[in-house]
């Protein structure tokens, strides 16, 4: 019996990277997995196969998380296929970095919609289900820059700060129904997004981190598993930094 046996989890933006690591870790702990991405492409099919090999039910869904109608429709489909929703991980996210002086309205709107509005959409869609079950765990993927801010990332930082405040607000509203909401703030995590950086840049990053290394998607997935499981049954409204001590 795994930590998440008998639970069904939705993970958005899970065809690759941190989302995929979370979905795989949840599955290894016994959870059935419904995951979404913009398209169910080769990456998504590979993720499905890897999760299926762990002996749980899995299905990937093509959905634009930033679109309200899309989200309502896909969650209806997930409930028909899986019957329940115990865990929601709002992981879908993008970057469109630029100095504030050069940032366009389009860059601002796109990042806010994909990173923050998507969480609003999915929480709205799963709330009635979790209310009926009188249980649930909602996990918002934030970032250390949502706490500290970052030059050149005003849009991304604002969206991630919003994810933190959203989790705290939902925790206060839905706590009486035994629905928990928390945020994870990853720091420098080695993913496809950061792999393009030069070794010099990565070395400079490492100097700012007390553990002197970047994190892995699996490091973040371990924190998510704790928050999804009953081990954290008295933890809500919190931000857990997974950053090697970069932010304290």
User: CATH number for the domain including 127?
Assistant: 3.40.50.720
> Using an 8 Å Cβ cutoff, are 123 and 179 in contact?
no
pLDDT value for 204: 86
| 2 domain residue, yes or no | no
For each successive 10 residues of the chain (248 residues), what is the average pLDDT?
A: 96 95 98 95 95 98 96 98 98 95 98 98 98 98 96 97 98 98 96 80 89 96 98 98 95
Supply the residues annotated as catalytic: 156
> Using an 8 Å Cβ cutoff, are 96 and 154 in contact?
no
Residues spanned by the domain of 207: 8-240
How many other C-beta atoms are found inside a 10 Å radius of the C-beta of residue 234? 7
Give the chain's largest Cα–Cα span.
Answer: 53
Residue 139: exposure state from Cβ atoms within 10 A (0-12, 13-18, ≥19): buried
pLDDT value for 226: 98
pLDDT value for 220: 98
Q: What's the token pair of residue 207?
A: 């100097």
Q: What is the DSSP letter of 129?
A: H
pLDDT value for 200: 87
**Residues facing 240 on adjacent strands:** 184
Segment 78-123, tens digit of pLDDT: 999 999 999 999 999 999 999 999 999 999 999 999 999 999 999 9
What is the rounded distance in angstroms from the CA atom of residue 23 to the CA atom of residue 247?
Answer: 26
pLDDT value for 141: 98
Segment 192-217, tens digit of pLDDT: 777 777 888 888 888 999 999 999 99
Q: What are phi and psi of 97, to 5 degrees?
A: -75, 140
Our measurement of the distance from residue 80's CA atom to the centroid of its chain's CA atoms, rounded to an integer in Å, reads: 23
Number of domains in the chain: 1
pLDDT value for 241: 98
| 95 domain residue, yes or no | yes
pLDDT value for 108: 98
| 248 domain residue, yes or no | no
What is the reported pTM?
0.97
| 142 domain residue, yes or no | yes
Q: Assign 214 to helix, strand or coil.
A: coil
> Using an 8 Å Cβ cutoff, are 117 and 132 in contact?
no
């Amino acid at each position: 019996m795994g930590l998440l046996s008998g639970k069904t989890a939705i993970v958005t933006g899970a065809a690759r990277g941190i989302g995929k690591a979370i979905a795989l870790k949840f599955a290894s702990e016994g959870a059935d997995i419904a995951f979404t991405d913009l398209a169910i492409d080769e990456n998504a099919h590979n993720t499905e196969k890897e999760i299926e090999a762990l002996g749980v039910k899995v299905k990937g869904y093509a959905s634009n998380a930033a679109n309200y109608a899309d989200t309502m429709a896909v969650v209806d489909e997930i409930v028909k296929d899986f019957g329940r929703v115990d865990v929601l991980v709002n992981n879908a996210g993008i970057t469109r970095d630029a100095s504030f002086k050069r940032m366009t309205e389009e860059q601002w709107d796109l990042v806010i919609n994909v990173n923050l509005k998507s969480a609003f959409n999915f929480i709205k869609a799963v709330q009635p289900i979790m209310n009926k079950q009188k249980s649930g765990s909602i996990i918002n993927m934030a970032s250390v820059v949502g706490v500290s801010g970052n030059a050149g990332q005003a849009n991304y930082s604002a969206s991630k700060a919003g994810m933190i405040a959203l989790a705290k607000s939902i925790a206060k509203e839905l706590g009486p129904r035994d629905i928990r909401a928390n945020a994870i703030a990853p720091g420098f995590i080695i993913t496809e997004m950061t792999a393009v950086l030069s070794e010099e840049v990565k070395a400079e990053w490492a100097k700012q981190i007390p553990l002197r290394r970047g994190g892995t998607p699996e490091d973040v997935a371990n924190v998510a598993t704790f928050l999804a499981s009953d081990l954290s049954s008295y933890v809500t409204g919190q931000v857990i930094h997974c950053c090697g001590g970069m932010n304290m």
